[in-house]
A and B are shown apart, each in its own frame.
Chain A
Amino acid sequence: MAVICDTAAEAVRGVEDGSTVLVGGFGLAGMPVALVDALIEQGAADLTVVSNNAGNGDTGLAALLAAGRVRKVVCSFPRQADSWVFEGLHRAGKIELELVPQGNLAERMRAAGAGIGAFYCPTGAGTLLAEGKETREIDGRTHVLEYPIRGDVALIGAHRADRMGNLVYRKTARNFGPVMATAAATTIVQVAEVVDPGTLDPESVVTPGIFVDRVVAA
């Protein structure tokens, strides 16, 4: 059952050095900024971060990168007008990049969460991003073998949670949250509001509480 935490600091307790951390959000929409700030305070280092972007502006994920805690970023879209923190670190050789097509990023985490050992997909076939990967002809098309991405921890943002850990999201801030929630050993969620069981319409729950370990209103 999900644990409702009083503070973001309590919610991120125990994240170990060297962990793979899935960080929700598409840009800042859905980015769990309070959890990321708490992780900076908590001090875990040598992290591999999996997120769609590599930090925007100076807050959230960008702040974690700037604090020097991240060894490697796995993402689809690191280069943007406001991605100066990542670019500086990458050019200085201080951070590694694994670039993954956005659909593969989502599906590889979905696979991890669903117990799928690997999957074949045509995305990227014949490109640099498929180099060295196993391929197979299926229905006359080249498919590339892709493996799951599993997190030790997921930090995600949602709109509301009930005390069972059921989650609903808001508009396009949903993005990677529901997928990442399934793909990590420990899923930690920042919400705007925690409500009593029975308050959320069961038909509208997007992430069932079984996928959620810790929740904090922040």
Chain B
Amino acid sequence: MPAEVIERKLTAYSAHVVLTRLQRIGLFAGLALLAGVAVLRPMLVLQVIVALVTLCYGAAIAFRVALVYAAGRGEHRVLISDEDARAVADAELPVYTVLVPAYREPSVIGALMAHLSALEYPRDKLEVILLLEPDDTETIEAARAALTGEHLRILVVPESMPKTKPKACNVGLAEATGEFVTIYDAEDIPDPLQLRRAVVALRRLGPEYVCLQAELGYFNTDQNRITRWFALEYATWFRSLLPGLVALGMPVPLGGTSNHFRTRELRELGAWDPYNVTEDADLGIRLARSGFRVGVLESVTLEEANSDFINWIKQRSRWYKGYLMTWLVHLRSPRATFKQLGWRGLLCLNLFVGGTPLAALLNAVLWATTLLWFLAQPAVMEQIFIPPFYYIGVFCLVFGNATVIYLNVLSVRSMDRPDLLGTALLSPLYWAMMSLASAKAAWQLVFKPSYWEKTTHGLHLPTTAPAASDDI
């Protein structure tokens, strides 16, 4: 099945158009109405906005706590022991396709070969497709020089728009021969038994499960404060929040790599949306809409944590933009979404997918408001913040922030990394970075929706020249 055929299946939910005509009309009509009322009753509009924002914000915090609580009650990740993973005879293993999209990272090709050769999977059942772009001769040459083994091959993605990672993956998927398929980034260090674990797990879980998300961690956690924050965030994400979503029977937005699929179903579903800058999260929602389930596999893939401030902001703003896109795309036909996802799915879509970037954006506004109050105490604020919402707002400000810091301390403990305590307690500074990224994301969503921010890799290597690539 060629990539174009696969992609055609998702046209209705592609982020090629971020807002459909109907959404656009609705948005402008809403804004016009708001502006109209604002002229007549400005205070009322402000009060209603504050009330709505407060309620949504409170709901997002409550949702987060509910996820962690749900995740804590029992094991919601799929655990496959080393023995069980190795117990399957080579003859019984299916062909497994590993897609490795890379762009301008000649320096990591050597390491990539080493990490892939560490995978415990029979070579005659393994198909590794290195997806490279035609203009990236450097990486193509490096790969050609380093490539050894029949199971490895290079696929130069034909020139076509958009030139994105999901596009490359779709091209790779079109040629994949495996029963199962997964994606690794070039710099990833996957758990050597991950493919075997995924096979055993997917067979155990049955056909309802079409995808398993493995846990992502970082190999350069201790490089600086940003990488430590990042590692802590990932630990919370993959050990609490995603298992919480699984526990509550909600859609799971996938992470960019180490997701393991049944190839046939993935093709049927239309695979990755080449226009969505977080095609992975979007795919997670689409899987849920089609009635499939996603599990979280206890098996770690180590990645490179973004250690540079500017680079981090770029990467994070792309994620946030993608989440917002995904949110808008799936709100196109709310009735269909509700029918397919149910109220749980809708909660996840709004409070988690839409809520994560929006909360980051709102944080900055709300902190600024708080600061303004303490510095100037403008009387008009007393009018805007009417009592019940004012109290909920104060509650969110105080307990919301405290709760998230507290949850981070718990993550430190469950990661068995007590040295990260200070990092957890300093999380508010990381949130400030998130706010910055979300502002950039919102701006880009409006003016440059499909623009793909490149993330530089190899910053943990002091000697090699950094390379730009599409990462997760």
- Do A and B pair up? The answer is no
Which residues of B are in contact with A by a Cβ distance under 8 Å?
none
